Structure 1
Amino acid sequence: MSLLRVGYVREHFSSPLLQYAHDDQEKTFRLVECPGGTGQLISRLTSNEIDVAMQVYHIFDLLLRALTDPLISGIANGSQSYRLVGSYVSTPLNWAVITGASSPYKSIADLKGTKIGISRPGSGSQTMAYVMALNEHWSPDALQFQVNNDIRGLIDSVNEESTAAFMWEWFTTKPWADKGEVRFIGSVPTPWPSWMIAAHPSPTRAPSDALRTFLHALSSYVTKFDAPEARETADVEFIKATFGYPEEDVKAWLKTVGYPSDCTIVSAEVIQDTLAVLSKAGVVKAATYDVKDFVDTQVASLA
């Protein structure tokens, strides 16, 4: 028996995946929750932690729904631990800029020269801080970071004022803002589609046939979730029941998010555009990259 291990972050974006996992009666894959976000997903894949369990079947690795920018910057900076095998969300991600409930910071401009909290080095929370700096015409070299591991650590940090702010997806952190535990002082949308899918390149850890089967099935769940009639009722009820979000927040988020019709297609233009922004931010070296080096073309189609 072969089992595909799928690392994911438990957020509303993962709804089609969770629906797929619920219906997977043959248990062809196993979800591995990574609350530390994309940085933790990449770290687990790189360090082989996702293979730790000793079981009677083969374990394969897949990072599902990881942020586009850390995945691409990791490969550009020489990582051999994964390659892109698909796309998951086709719209930008809106990152909230978040500070403590009683902190002195009122706007993004107030954060210049301060310390920014991140989940892990190489995470989306760090990459988007560089994008924020570019937008504000700050030097990326002037940014200071403190690693706080997960959302709880980030929230505690801004309230203890060991960091001035952190960045996280808007709707995921809105419940804490609604409770008055943190404050939003701005937002920065990604200059690229927000989520992609990556897998370990080893055929013994992530064989192409298993990945293709998984991705084609996932595409059907994404298509069902993305249907206009589902967005009106079924999606709203599923997210409310699964994540406890208020109905008005769910409906507002559904107006902003889009999914691809085929999860097995990776856009060459997205890779090139993302690299251009990351190069300006100093996250990757200014160089000429071959987009084929970023994609496992035995699994995904490069469009």
Structure 2
Amino acid sequence: MMNLRVGYVREHFSSPLLQFAEVDDGKTFNLVECPSGTGQLISRLTNDEIDIAIALTDPLISGIANGSTAYKLVGSFVSTPLNWAVITGVNSEFQDIKSLKGTTLGISRPGSGSQTMAHVMALQQGWSTGDFQFKVNNDIHGLIASVDEGSTSAFMWEHFTTKPFVDEGKARFIGNVPTPWPSWLIAAHPTRAPNDQVKAFLSQLTDFVNRFASTASRLGPNIDFIKEKFGYPEEDIKAWLGTVGYPLDCAAIPHNVVEQTFRLLEKAGVVKMPENGFDVNVFVNKDVCSLTP
């Protein structure tokens, strides 16, 4: 039996996964870090570099809608929205979201959350997709360098991940755009990752997620773990723990999350409705997970 290769982004959201990995110690799965985010995760699923990805909801759904057969959705990971910060250079001319119209926005990769959420931001502002351009900058460090040198006007990234850079005076917040959907799902290659192994992984991950999400863990152990792993200030950790929610069952996906996210992405111009209409079975591997209302 092969070890599953599990792709992830090394952020505080991944704490339950990291705790699981420490206990598993390479017996059933190996972690593959993807610092560029969901665009890199999807690329590695496509290129047979990982079998499972814990990634952002919107680019996973848009990837399948736009023709990817490298994965299907198999589970849920974070049930609350992601708070995307809009970030610019310390000395840039941009003071708010409205001032970004017609400029070049930084993204990590094509198809990434940083790109799909830029389309959602444009939808909220009443802009068309032609009102801005994109420049690929790979990761958070490249994105910060781009707004500092002025090759991009701004970029979007998770609030608490970028807050240390803002606190250090390397970047500046000019707005926030929370996702209108639960933020993280789990995807797996439909044939390369054996269903029974994926089920076992999700079952055990659920145990660690439930422990992490408990009130007792939020009040103490979680704070210490995140502080040790990521070096965030305690006040930021407590603020994040007060907002984040995890599913009771990682092997269940709400039907309305998939459909409503798809329809919002359609409005934002990221995906198109197929001629035969929306079909959740195109997106979800029901041999692994269950669909809930």
Shorter chain as denominator, the TM-score bin is over 0.9
Q: Structure 2 matches for 1:189-204, cutoff 5 A?
A: 189-202=178-191
The equivalent residue for 2:238 is: 251
The equivalent residue for 2:118 is: 129
Structure 2 unaligned residues grouped into runs of 5+? none
Question: Secondary structure in 1 aligned to 2:260?
Answer: helix
- Distance in 2, matches of 1:199 and 1:278, equals 22
* TM-score using structure 2 length: 0.97
**Structure 1 residue corresponding to 2:221, chosen from 223, 234, 245:** 234
The equivalent residue for 1:104 is: 93
User: How far does residue 168 in structure 1 lie from its aligned partner after superposition?
Assistant: 0.1
- Distance in 2, matches of 1:239 and 1:190, equals 23
Code of the aligned partner of 2:282 = D
The equivalent residue for 1:282 is: 269
The equivalent residue for 1:41 is: 41
Percent identity between the two aligned chains: 64
Q: Structure 2 matches for 1:1-303, cutoff 5 A?
A: 1-25=1-25, 27-50=27-50, 61-64=51-54, 66-202=55-191, 205-287=192-274, 288-303=277-292
Cα deviation, 1:128-153, whole Å, max 9, x if unaligned, reads 00010011111123220000011111
- Distance in 2, matches of 1:169 and 1:6, equals 21
Cα deviation, 1:223-257, whole Å, max 9, x if unaligned, reads 00000011000111100011000000000001110
* TM-score using structure 1 length: 0.94
Q: Tell me if the contact between 2:103 and 2:131 (Cα under 8 Å) persists in the aligned partners.
A: no
RMSD of Structure 2 on Structure 1 (CA)? 0.9
Cα deviation, 1:4-61, whole Å, max 9, x if unaligned, reads 10000000000000000000146210000000000000011112234xxxxxxxxxx1
Code of the aligned partner of 1:208 = N
Question: Secondary structure in 1 aligned to 2:3?
Answer: strand
- 25 and 49 in structure 1: CA distance in 2 versus 1, 3 angstrom threshold: closer
- Distance in 2, matches of 1:266 and 1:214, equals 16
Code of the aligned partner of 1:189 = P
- Distance in 2, matches of 1:25 and 1:166, equals 36
Structure 1 unaligned residues grouped into runs of 5+? 51-60
